[in-house]
Amino acid sequence: MTGSESSWPPLSAAQDGATIATLHRFSQIVGKVPTALLPWRNHGWHLTLHLTPRGLRTEPIHDASGTFELALDLIDHRLELVQSSGRHEIPLRAMSVADFHAKVMEMLAQAGHSIRIHGAPNELPDATPFDRDSEIRPYEPASAGRLHAALLSADRVFRLFRSGFLGKVSPVHFFWGSFDLAVTRFSGRPAPLHPGGIPHLPDAVTREAYSHEVSSAGFWPGGAGAPGEPFFYSYAYPAPAGFAEAEVAPDQARFEPELGEFVLDYAAVRSAADPDAALLDFLRSSYAAAADIGEWDRDALECPMGQPSLPREVGP
């Protein structure tokens, strides 16, 4: 790939969707390990995966046998378990979810970790238990590599956008349930009780996640839940009256009533003269719509975006 293609690679449902759907299901098994072991943190932030130069990893996981982490390496295409005594790995390749699940549980046991996880996927219409999902799922290394490169570029812009907020804001992190990279800003005010209703996800989880008002943006590359082309999104909870009618940049951005979100296709970002600037325009303008219409205290919550080596100025 050329330099621009490696930053914003071609990514499509036709070419890459099957592998992305496989990784969605595999990542659920990985993500359920910290969910089973780590103390619950606000908004479920402990169970997310984090982007690395090689793929996606958990945060350090502590149990009675020690500390370890799991990492989906999308360069050498393997799942790694890393701990002080060494590392264990299994290959990422075409296989059934049941086979992958069995290999992960065997690897954990061999590394000295006796763990029981919830045995079925979340946030998917098809919640076939992992150990009974015997369909062979495709895995193309080139598709996994393009997914990783696209996530890295999205992560770069999301982190820049995140740096312009003084209020409570999430890490840039990856949710394996919905299979998206996300960053969330908070107004500081409590939100009305969320109605729940997300497939195969306890309402208590959803309601705790949306306990406070948010403006949330993310990148959905595709997944096992529904067909579709990759896109960026931005939404508010609760959505203030008039949010759907707000003007959001760039011109290709649109409001999707079925999703309740503003959407910007990945292809539109990739084909822009300056992809980073186009995505940043989308993030800024959609957040501004949520904050202005929702009457957030923007003067208190925002600051100039960060610059390398320059601390934010404070004081009189």
- Inter-residue contact 55 to 175 (CB < 8 Å): no
| Average pLDDT over every residue of 297-314 | 94
pLDDT score of 275: 97
pLDDT in tens, 252-294: 999 999 999 999 999 999 999 999 999 999 999 999 999 999 9
Q: Is the pLDDT of residue 3 over 50?
A: no
pLDDT score of 313: 86
pLDDT in tens, 170-195: 999 999 999 999 999 999 999 999 99
Question: Alpha-carbon distance 14 to 31, whole Å?
Answer: 26
pLDDT in tens, 25-74: 999 999 999 999 999 999 999 999 999 999 999 999 999 999 999 999 99
pLDDT in tens, 129-170: 999 999 999 999 999 999 999 999 999 999 999 999 999 999
Tokens linked to 4: 């621009």
| Average pLDDT over every residue of 105-134 | 96
pTM listed for this prediction: 0.96
pLDDT score of 251: 97
pLDDT score of 115: 93
pLDDT category at 106 given cuts 50, 70, 90 is very high
- Inter-residue contact 246 to 145 (CB < 8 Å): no
Largest separation between any pair of C-alpha atoms in the chain: 64
Q: Is the pLDDT of residue 128 over 60?
A: yes
pLDDT category at 4 given cuts 50, 70, 90 is very low
Q: Is the pLDDT of residue 214 over 70?
A: yes
| Average pLDDT over every residue of 194-215 | 96
Q: Is the pLDDT of residue 24 over 80?
A: yes
Comparing C-alpha atoms, which of 231, 214, 264, 173 is closest to residue 206? 214
pLDDT category at 6 given cuts 50, 70, 90 is low
Q: Is the pLDDT of residue 2 over 50?
A: no
Question: Alpha-carbon distance 140 to 286, whole Å?
Answer: 35
